[in-house]
Structure 1
Amino acid sequence: MHRYKDLEIWKLSRKFCTPIYKVTQSFPESERFGLITQLRRASISVPSNIAEGSAKSSNKHFLIFLENALGSCYEIETQLLVSNDVGYLNDNDLKILSDELHKITLMIAKFMSTLR
């Protein structure tokens, strides 16, 4: 078992939720059940999967949850790109969010390799 609150990937991914919530506040109301919900749920999924997986009794089981967290990172990346494509997200915000997300993705992948 791991103490998820001590894991830097959990701390960073939890903090990443805030800018996602803030940037989606400016999306049109028509995206309330589309990109807004998708981005918010996917961003929350990353630290949630890390936390849940940390309670598992083996690294093998923890890896499954880390893979889910990594999948959510790729989902967020896709949704950010689409948000930019349709004009809801400017290039500067896309770069900032993408850079932070890339950092989280690399950290998760590296942590997974240490658990294998």
Structure 2
Amino acid sequence: MDLKDELFGLTSQMGRSSTSIPCNIVEGKARGSSKDFKRFLLIARGSLEELKYQILLSKDLNYINEDKYQEILNITKEVGRLLNGLMVAVDKSGK
């Protein structure tokens, strides 16, 4: 596999991981029960963790520099905080 194919594969996977996060939130909410919503929020969090690894890999492969890595990592941390807050709210609602 050449560099161009490797980069395409990684960016493609990052696109799938990042898209999976809001898709799972929406799907979970549409299920209508707190239990299902929480399960889909956990799946969304798993996708976020996949994305964080892919970002780290991008840095390790020198596709992005340290500054860009930190910038993107800070965004993923904020998304993680939002997801955790939503999970707490769903737990409290108990519907």
TM-score range for the pair, normalised by the shorter chain length: 0.7 to 0.9
Q: Report the RMSD for the aligned CA atoms in angstroms.
A: 1.0
Give 1 or 2: higher helix fraction: 2
1:35 to 10, 16, 21: 10
Q: Per-residue CA shift, 1:2-39, capped at 9, x if unaligned?
A: xxxxxxxxxxxxxxxxxxxxxxxxxx52222x211111
Gaps of 5+ in 1: 1-27
Number of matched pairs: 88
Name the TM-score, length of structure 1 as normaliser.
0.72
Corresponding residue for residue 96 of structure 1? 71
User: Which structure has the larger Rg?
Assistant: 2
- Following TM superposition, the consecutive aligned residue runs of length 4 or more in structure 1 with deviations greater than 4 angstroms are none
Gaps of 5+ in 2: none
Name the TM-score, length of structure 2 as normaliser.
0.87
Q: How does 1:82-93 map to 2 (within 5 A)?
A: 82-93=57-68
* Sequence identity (%): 33
Corresponding residue for residue 28 of structure 2? 53
